Every structure is written in structure tokens, then in C-alpha cells.
Amino acid sequence: MIRVVVVDDQEMVREGFSALLDAQDDIEVVGAAGNGVQGVALARTVRPDVVLMDIRMPEMDGLTATRLLLGGADDADDVKVLVLTTFDLDDYVYEALQAGASGFLLKHAPARELLNAVRVVAAGEALLAPSITKRLIEDFVRSRRTERVRPARLTVLTERETEILVLVAQGMSNAEIAAHLVLAEQTVKTHVSRVLTKLGLRDRAQAVIAAYESGLVVPG
């Protein structure tokens, strides 16, 4: 059972998401909060698998709340944050990914996308498939483009691991990478895990960011 907390300052949104999620056999909403302060306190108390986190809220925004939840606590890896936003190019979204969020979803996305997103994030993957995610990262990196030198920390990767990091940054799933490189999917999963471990990254979302910011992958 996937345990979820919904954090949003709009009561109708909280109730709507909660009703939709609770109707699923494999998902249980264990709490809801109206701002980041309440959301962080609730998540630390009930320890859900996934927190649906709105960005713009009173008292404490979703970015700050995400940082507090995922900022190095011993049990941080037990909680995944899925950012919700009304704005498809909200600057906060990129920062939330940097803070450790596992992905983001637009509030007006179809119900099936929300359900899929919760399941994907709960399984430990990052929600990178929607094209909007790639565009957001590319736009942000393009706006900050400077002369980049490949960071020394990327040199710890083998040639194969670097190749796989590039493909992850391009939005490929493990299955797609396996087909592209003619490898077993489990082998790809092992390589991805080693990349994350060697670079000290939380998940695939942060791997994408690292690939773009390092200049290993360039927008467009």
C-alpha cells in the first residue's frame, strides 16, 4: 500500500486529490495539510511514502518544505516528494528538483497521470517522462549558460556509466536504454544505481540536472 500525504493550500484541490487517490486499491491518503509548515510536521509524524507538494502556499512554500523534508534527515530516503504546480514553467519547480523532489506534475493533468506519477515515484523512480520536464530543465540551464568545464566528479564514472547518464538525461527509461544499448534491463538498472552512488545523487531527477549543469548534455 502506497501511503500519501497531500499538501496544498486549496481545500478543493486537497479533497479532490485525496478522493481520487483513496479510491485506488493500492493507495491510501494518510493526511492532508494546507501549507508547508503543516505539511512538513505531518509528513514527519505519519511518514508517508509520497508527499504531493504544492509550490505556492502561505507560511511556507513547497520549495522550502521539500528542502526541510529531504535535507539530510536520516529517514529522508523513505519519503518521496512529487511537486504539484499550476504553472508549467515555474522557476520553483527546478529548484525543488535540486532540493531532492522526485519529479513534478501539472495540477490540470489527467487523473491517470496523477495516479501513475504517485506509483512511479513510490517505486523509487523519477517522473521524467513528460516533455514539460525536459523543457523546464533545458530552459533553466539555457538561461544560466556559461562556459562549462566537465566537473572533476564526473571522471569517477566509467565510459559505459557516462553513456548511460547521457541517455537518462535525454529522458530514456531503463527499458529504452537497454534496447538502445542492447543490454539486459537489470544491467542498465545496476549501472544507473552506480552512477547515482558515485555522484552522490538521490535519484534520476538529480542525475538529469547534474548532466545538464555539467555540460555533459546540452539543451536542444
Average confidence score pLDDT of the chain: 83
Residue 129 — very low, low, confident or very high, per pLDDT cuts 50/70/90?
very low
Q: Do domains 2-127 and 141-214 have the same CATH topology?
A: no
> pLDDT-derived band of residue 150, with 50, 70 and 90 as boundaries?
low
Query: Is residue 42's pLDDT more than 90?
Result: yes
How far apart are the C-alpha atoms of 97 and 69, rounded to whole Å? 13
Domain spanning 141-214 has what CATH number? 1.10.10.10
- Phi/psi at 201 (nearest 5 deg)? -105, 150
H/E segment holding residue 66: helix 62-70
Query: Mapping DSSP to helix (H, G, I), strand (E, B) and coil, where does residue 214 land?
Result: helix
- Domain boundaries along the sequence of the chain: 2-127, 141-214
The span from the CA of 188 to the CA of 185, in Å, is 5
Where residue 183 falls among pLDDT bands split at 50, 70, 90? very high
Whole-structure pTM value:
0.71
User: Percent of the chain having pLDDT more than 70?
Assistant: 81
Cell 481545500 sits at which residue?
11
2-127 CATH pick, 3.90.1260.10, 3.30.70.1150, 3.40.50.2300, 3.40.50.300: 3.40.50.2300
Residue 147 confidence (pLDDT) above 50: no
Instruction: Taking residues 166-193, report their average pLDDT.
Output: 89
Question: Which of the residue ranges 50-54, 68-72, 172-176 would you say has the lowest mean pLDDT?
Answer: 68-72
